Structure 1
């Protein structure tokens, strides 16, 4: 079956499924494979649960005309998504970066939805499977699409751009993350810059944090012609400033050369989110959304999924930011805590993953940065941090050990930062603070 023929079946069904636990009636089931599963084995179950067709790549599972046999299911899913994308003649905004991708994506969605019917990546579906699934969720009623793209190796962003074909794009920032896959910070810049390469080749529009020296250098090297700049210096098209972070953000912005600033109170914490907010302003104004609607979208946005979330517990104010962590996001979280006005501050940091041979050096660096804040209490959790234990802070090898220590010696009347890689399971500590 050709991609065009399969596409006709997709148009008839209107949706795809990949999980037998959540089959959409009349959908096309794609039997994907992973390290520990082979969904070919569940194709019959998917059909029994309501799928109309099942795409498989092992002939022994084909029982009747409802099965579509292909060479490779994942490749077929990606090709179908690529074909569908070419039928959609609307703006596609691609977002990547070391930190802030998801928050920026959600802010863009909040602003663009004020005027346009907008579809944005759900959750964290930002990889070689997630992006195709996102594209195949976009129907003809959608007027604007925001696509998050993640990567931990070279050429992944290029591959995702080839499928999603962004007409507009932005890189939030570049920092030290996934160094095992990228090899170095220069490798990070090269990989993220693949979005710029695509925009250059396809005459796309770039939204650029004009005060970020790395991003500015990457843009200059490529000579992208259509650039909208946002940042803090007066030469940017959108100029912003942080008003306060106590702990929620107050941010002001204006267009270049205007006299008056708009000042808005957000539901975000983290001074580092100021530039994510300015990105949403820049995109909103580019697409003709008026200032009142832009501000409304930003003010009403509420963060979720333990990304820069403020939680008031019975004893403390907790900054829950443990969905992910790397060196640059740790630095940003600590810098934000430094500007928050609070009488008592407690820092609880967990290991950063995927740093490769730089892991020891970078964990030692973060220890020094955290101790420099002179918080009331500083706690490091995980084997990588534990290897550098000293008498200036508390060190625990596991999250469970830290939980027990917090139970024995509770934290009260404090602003608490919880920051770690997702695998550290810091949600276990929420009951203790």
Structure 2
């Protein structure tokens, strides 16, 4: 806690208007949607994709009375009894405050950087050290310029050690992170391809990452990266590797049965052999680094061996899954601390598909009086309908929770009690540390389905939205396409995230898609592309706005509205400027406006058209002509109707190629889901289709595989059967070696015809076991090209029987 007066002394303010300099600040906020303790929050009006100054009103109405701003045009008279701190750079001010707070922490701080493995190493080190030390770790992947500052704010002397992760994507960023973190001990994971596009060379990227360590006393790393000559000469190093001079020598590594590896190490005058439950190169590198850190801290080899037995692979993603009885399960069961609990609660409130909110929470490691007070304060601010606590150490929370509370001594007791507990039509956050195995609770509550799953990364989708938003000028609205089950990614789960991120409009193909969104709490305006006459009543009942593209559909809708005596219902007029699919031709607009002038039952909300080839340079002249014809048609409609409406013609490709076509609103489709048809943007993959190996068999040369004996083996082969077929959306065109899947990082081809529920792969040349995970489309665009189609078709054809698993991370 710091007062406004103290904060002023540690940020470079250009000016300030202070009402109460003694006001205590407990929370730093930058997102008005997540404010829970407004009276004691300091709101930073960051200028990123969205200008935080636009949300000062919202934050003020949620109780915030202290702001850090950079714009001088704010009318402060509108905000009574409020503190304003004016700075040149709001993010820099936040970082200055975080750096000051970090300097108050006198215990060791470990700084972790590298291209890959940062978050895994951080989490594993916390697992390995927490039995003996109270560890503070930056939550999840809070490793950016903003994330590190927020992570450091929660650092306190309640902890014995802090582990802070630092990630960069551009030159100059690490110096800013180093000023905040100022680590005492450095841990370097590796140097790889991640974010390579931001740096002129691998050497430049390495030099930038090592900037984090410039004030460290010691740096721990793999000797194969040869960092010694790149570090400050006075800095001590502690290395592992195969060289004789390494502090920790790796003598031998070999697979030891299914899924595990034996590692033999030499340290000082001792040799020890460890068994770890991993075989992939990345996990083994991360484990070796963790072992080296523990040896650096003085742990004996036999103690480390015992600790490693508890080590588990991490699914560090906050998952959103379909639950039983129309519930939604938010599974966040790999760690439990105050910071990650707040993040998970924010995600719970973000879900609008169910009004009822339930929290299942396990005890936390090392809850002393200070942390209990903080946890109690956090829980007092929550608006929950039901709370289930696991572990006697949480009994004190009953006095802090404004909802019915159930307390179970153990996870086993909870699982037994769940049989008599009803969960229905609610969002349930399951949050617990690994020791409590709440993943068993999540599994019990989740709906059972086909084992082939489509994993959907909501954070990646959010990232892609912001990438496209960053291209738009202020004032241009965003319409997001969620038709066709959100391009296979799910309906209300995706729409809910878009609503939380304040897109302006959603678009569906048919009325029933819009009805489902309304039933799950989506309040955004929704445009229906293909309104059916039989579903007009659904449009009205669910506030769905039809696209009107022909005189037939217009007359039918006007007649329906007249019967219902409805006035001013919003509609969207489509003009056909060259697609020749749906829409009024330009020569039909005069007749159209004559009809619209005579009725009061509808109000034109927008006028739109569809570009045919906005991503094609070859058809540039045609696109220019489409935009010109649309603008002329919209002008005629506006003049004759006598009022303004929104105009939109720019689709995903046009957002990139045609800034002149932005007009009032753009329509974002396939790019939102991570498919960059233009190859110009740094989009994240949103979905990944996965299945598992059911059986592996060895067959002789000459044997045939599958229907009609299409798969002929020309050598002795190992054939794996996997749980996906054409009923799941994996096209029969992928049969007979056309399709490729990925098993344990290796590409393998299909064998024989694709069956309804299964297909076969040739795994002769790779390491593969039954029940191994299989990535169905390692490269979506390559897969689409292989069967002569486009990524859209592969995504939307994934069957609804394939379980969608959502995660945020």
TM-score higher than 0.5 here?
yes
Match of 1:93 among 110, 116, 131: 110
1:93-151 CA distances to partner (integer Å, 9 max, x unpaired)? 11111111111111122122222211111111111101111111101212211111111
Shift of 1:255: 4.4
Higher RCO (CA < 8 A, seq sep 6+): 1
Structure 2, unaligned runs of 5 or more = 12-20, 319-333, 335-442, 461-681, 683-692, 698-717, 725-741, 751-760, 764-774
Query: Contact 1:97–1:150 at 8 Å: present in 2 too?
Result: yes
Shift of 1:291: 4.7
Shift of 1:57: 3.0
Match of 1:229 among 239, 264, 280: 239
Match of 2:272 among 261, 264, 267: 261
Question: In structure 2, do the counterparts of structure 1 residues 30 and 73 end up closer, same or farther at CA, with 3 Å as the change threshold?
Answer: farther
Q: Which residue of 2 aligns with 1:80?
A: 97
Question: In structure 2, do the counterparts of structure 1 residues 183 and 18 end up closer, same or farther at CA, with 3 Å as the change threshold?
Answer: same
Between stretches 369-378 and 269-278, larger displacement belongs to 369-378
Question: In structure 2, do the counterparts of structure 1 residues 265 and 133 end up closer, same or farther at CA, with 3 Å as the change threshold?
Answer: same
Tell me, in whole angstroms, the C-alpha distance in 2 between the residues paired with 1:396 and 1:233.
51
Query: Contact 1:179–1:188 at 8 Å: present in 2 too?
Result: yes
Q: Which residue of 2 aligns with 1:220?
A: 229
1:272-315 CA distances to partner (integer Å, 9 max, x unpaired)? 211211211222232234556544554244402369x9xx9987
Query: Contact 2:124–2:311 at 8 Å: present in 1 too?
Result: no
1:277 equivalent in alignment to 2:273: no
Tell me, in whole angstroms, the C-alpha distance in 1 between the residues paired with 2:452 and 2:271.
34
Tell me, in whole angstroms, the C-alpha distance in 2 between the residues paired with 1:161 and 1:77.
14
Map 1:241-256; keep pairs closer than 5 Å: 241-244=252-255, 248-252=259-263, 254-256=265-267
SS in 2 for 1:193: helix
Match of 2:151 among 134, 138, 141: 134
Map 1:36-185; keep pairs closer than 5 Å: 36-51=49-64, 53-59=66-72, 60=74, 62=76, 63-71=79-87, 72-185=89-202
SS in 2 for 1:154: coil
* TM-score for the superposition, normalised by structure 1: 0.68
1:376 equivalent in alignment to 2:759: no
Query: Contact 1:122–1:134 at 8 Å: present in 2 too?
Result: yes
Q: Which residue of 1 aligns with 2:33?
A: 21
Tell me, in whole angstroms, the C-alpha distance in 2 between the residues paired with 1:85 and 1:383.
44
Map 1:185-224; keep pairs closer than 5 Å: 185-196=202-213, 198=214, 202-210=215-223, 212=224, 215-216=225-226, 218-222=227-231, 224=233
Tell me, in whole angstroms, the C-alpha distance in 2 between the residues paired with 1:253 and 1:282.
13
Shift of 1:61: 5.2
Question: In structure 2, do the counterparts of structure 1 residues 13 and 162 end up closer, same or farther at CA, with 3 Å as the change threshold?
Answer: same
Structure 1, unaligned runs of 5 or more = 327-336, 349-365, 411-426
SS in 1 for 2:797: helix
SS in 1 for 2:126: helix
SS in 1 for 2:164: strand
Query: Contact 2:183–2:216 at 8 Å: present in 1 too?
Result: no
Shift of 1:190: 2.8
Tell me, in whole angstroms, the C-alpha distance in 1 between the residues paired with 2:266 and 2:778.
44
Question: In structure 2, do the counterparts of structure 1 residues 306 and 39 end up closer, same or farther at CA, with 3 Å as the change threshold?
Answer: closer
1:214-245 CA distances to partner (integer Å, 9 max, x unpaired)? x21x3223354311112355543234454438
SS in 1 for 2:237: strand
Map 1:250-399; keep pairs closer than 5 Å: 250-252=261-263, 254-266=265-277, 270-291=280-301, 294-295=304-305, 297-298=307-308, 299-305=310-316, 344=720, 370-371=746-747, 376=762, 380=777, 385=782, 397-398=790-791
Shift of 1:181: 1.2
Q: Which residue of 2 aligns with 1:401?
A: 794
Query: Contact 1:111–1:293 at 8 Å: present in 2 too?
Result: no
Question: In structure 2, do the counterparts of structure 1 residues 53 and 112 end up closer, same or farther at CA, with 3 Å as the change threshold?
Answer: farther
Tell me, in whole angstroms, the C-alpha distance in 1 between the residues paired with 2:249 and 2:136.
27
Tell me, in whole angstroms, the C-alpha distance in 1 between the residues paired with 2:256 and 2:454.
12
* TM-score for the superposition, normalised by structure 2: 0.39
Tell me, in whole angstroms, the C-alpha distance in 2 between the residues paired with 1:239 and 1:345.
41
Shift of 1:84: 1.2
Question: In structure 2, do the counterparts of structure 1 residues 227 and 320 end up closer, same or farther at CA, with 3 Å as the change threshold?
Answer: farther
Query: Contact 2:455–2:805 at 8 Å: present in 1 too?
Result: no
Q: Which residue of 1 aligns with 2:549?
A: none
Q: Which residue of 2 aligns with 1:356?
A: none
Aligned length: 368
| Cα RMSD after superposing both structures | 4.6
